[in-house]
Homo-oligomer: A and B are copies of this chain.
């Protein structure tokens, strides 16, 4: 058996999230169906770096799976032929037997995108959150973001449903930048709690449009109470960009 690592991109729009669920179209179930077909109906299951919610996109999700097959450089093509066009395998390589897509991950990078255009382009409706009449002050958002960089307890920034007990995470980088018609938040950390990036996006937007002060981000963080953080930003602005090992 060989252990393979694959990098996956998907448009999350028409999926009920990443993780397999009975009677739902999920990214994982499409990948596992393709793997099973390629292995002539032998059970082959993939393990991902983590799940993503319905509507969330990925350019660099990482999975691993074990296989008796040796397809050399034809893995990518073989899987893409079997996958629907909204999931693509962008890279495949053989890795050591102890490589683990989830437990071996040392960092993840996410991007959150808003669009400024007065009327949202119909081509963007699933790929960026329309700011509409809001014109957030990016400097204020950057100022607020400083309170999140570093090692903190992120209880206020994750879903109340989060099962994980340890809510301490390290954010290594958190930037906000206007890129053409978009406002782009990029965040890199050792790991993220459930809904953490979308909650951060919601809190920083509230600062940008003047509902909260940059200093409030520190107060929300220190409260360790999800109710302090306001609304989670919509799923369709979020992209899993990279997982590092």
A residues with CB within 8 A of B = 9-11, 57, 76, 80, 85-90, 119-123, 125, 127
Minimum CB–CB distance from A150 to chain B (whole Å) comes to 33
24 of the cross-chain contacts (CB-CB < 8 Å) are A9-B119, A9-B121, A9-B122, A9-B123, A10-B122, A11-B122, A11-B123, A11-B125, A57-B123, A76-B119, A80-B119, A85-B120, A85-B122, A85-B125, A86-B122, A86-B125, A87-B122, A88-B119, A88-B120, A88-B121, A88-B122, A89-B119, A90-B119, A123-B127
Minimum CB–CB distance from A127 to chain B (whole Å) comes to 7
**Which of A57, A80, A85, A89 has the most B CB atoms < 10 Å from its CB?**
A85
Majority-rule SS of A interface residues: mixed
CA distance A119 to B76 in the complex (A): 9
Minimum CB–CB distance from A84 to chain B (whole Å) comes to 9
A10 surroundings in chain B (CB, below 8 A): 122
A80 surroundings in chain B (CB, below 8 A): 119
Minimum CB–CB distance from A17 to chain B (whole Å) comes to 15
A119 surroundings in chain B (CB, below 8 A): 9, 76, 80, 88-90
CA distance A62 to B90 in the complex (A): 39
Minimum CB–CB distance from A242 to chain B (whole Å) comes to 16
CA distance A80 to B120 in the complex (A): 10
A86 surroundings in chain B (CB, below 8 A): 122, 125
A80, closest chain B residue (CB): B119
CA distance A102 to B3 in the complex (A): 61
Minimum CB–CB distance from A73 to chain B (whole Å) comes to 12
**Which of A76, A80, A90, A122 has the most B CB atoms < 10 Å from its CB?**
A122
CA distance A76 to B122 in the complex (A): 14
CA distance A120 to B76 in the complex (A): 12
A130, closest chain B residue (CB): B85
CA distance A225 to B123 in the complex (A): 36
**Which of A9, A87, A89 has the most B CB atoms < 10 Å from its CB?**
A9
Beyond known contacts A9-B119, A89-B119: 10 more, CB 8 A cutoff: A9-B121, A9-B122, A11-B123, A57-B123, A76-B119, A85-B120, A85-B122, A85-B125, A88-B119, A88-B121
A85 surroundings in chain B (CB, below 8 A): 120, 122, 125
A12, closest chain B residue (CB): B122
